[in-house]
Amino acid sequence: MMEKQIVSYLPKLADFWRLEVEQLEEYYRELQGSSQFYEDLNQKVADVPQFSGTTFSRPMQLRVYRCMLYLFTRSHKPELFMETGVQHGFSSAVILLAMGKNQSGKLISVDIPPDDPRMTGQGTLGLPPGKGPGWIIPDRVRQRHELHLAPAEERVPRLLFKLAKLGGLDAFLHDSDHCYPHMMFEMALAWKYLPPRGMLLVDNIEQNTAFDEFSRNVDGDCITISSFDGPDRTWRHGLVRKPPANQG
């Protein structure tokens, strides 16, 4: 059975991505049936007290936003996908799982290690002792991953410049520092490098007005979706697509 929250978004996503809803349902069922992936995650968390009592067995434990990342990667088959913000590595893991199924694509992730003085100073929840960023990513799906441990504001401009010479990226996900200036910085930079029809995905847009202002001011189609864990735990996620080359 498909879970209610994500299922309610499938028609909206299908419409935005100009796909048949049945196609997304098929990819969602595929994610539901990825038992090896859940087993791999369970092995990773088995000896980690922070995850004690957690057993992964279904997509919604990964939240709506990460299910959406899986559906996006399966349906759009990005060759180059960049994300900022890795932490444990759940978003990276689902994107890499989808890329494995696509048998193509590379994910480039940029994250500040949790022991960086900037992060500890901001009170960011650390990783489990002895674990580094992306520790939860199953080894089985790591093959298409390139992880950079550096501040996004330093590393992302250089990477995007380099990638542009190699043909450019297809999708960019912001999930690092959600303060207004940093979100604006990443979104504007990614937008400059994304090709026509390229996709900008932004997590935690509820934190401030950056995404709403940005998406209103660029020439691109936009939708937002939400995740709910309870009345006091709601997140919003935004997607903006660049127009085709012959528009704008």
Ligand X SMILES: C[S@@+](CC[C@H](N)C(=O)[O-])C[C@H]1O[C@@H](n2cnc3c(N)ncnc32)[C@H](O)[C@@H]1O
Residues interacting with ligand X, by CB under 6 A? 84-88, 90-91, 110-112, 114, 119, 124, 133, 151-153, 175-177
Residue-wise DSSP of the chain: ---HHHHTTHHHHHHHHT--HHHHHHHHHHHHT-HHHHHHHHHHHTT-GGGTT----SGGGGHHHHHHHHHHHHHH--SEEEEE--TT-HHHHHHHHHHHHHT--EEEEEE--TTSHHHHHTTPPPPPTT--TTTTS-GGGGGGEEEEES-HHHHHHHHHHHHHHTT--SEEEE-S--SHHHHHHHHHHHHHHPPTT-EEEES-GGGSSHHHHHHHHSSSEEEEEEEEEETTEEEEEEEEEPPPTT--
CB of 44 to ligand X, least distance (A): 13
CB of 26 to ligand X, least distance (A): 24
Cβ nearer to ligand X, comparing 80 with 110: 110
CB of 214 to ligand X, least distance (A): 17
CB of 6 to ligand X, least distance (A): 15
Cβ nearer to ligand X, comparing 26 with 50: 50
Cβ nearer to ligand X, comparing 88 with 145: 88
Sole residue written with tokens 């996620």:
237
Cβ nearer to ligand X, comparing 123 with 244: 123
Cβ nearer to ligand X, comparing 23 with 124: 124
Cβ nearer to ligand X, comparing 13 with 136: 136
| Helices 35-45/90-102 angle, 10° precision | 150
CB of 138 to ligand X, least distance (A): 14
CB of 68 to ligand X, least distance (A): 11
Compute the distance between CA of residue 55 and CA of residue 59 in angstroms, rounded to an integer: 12
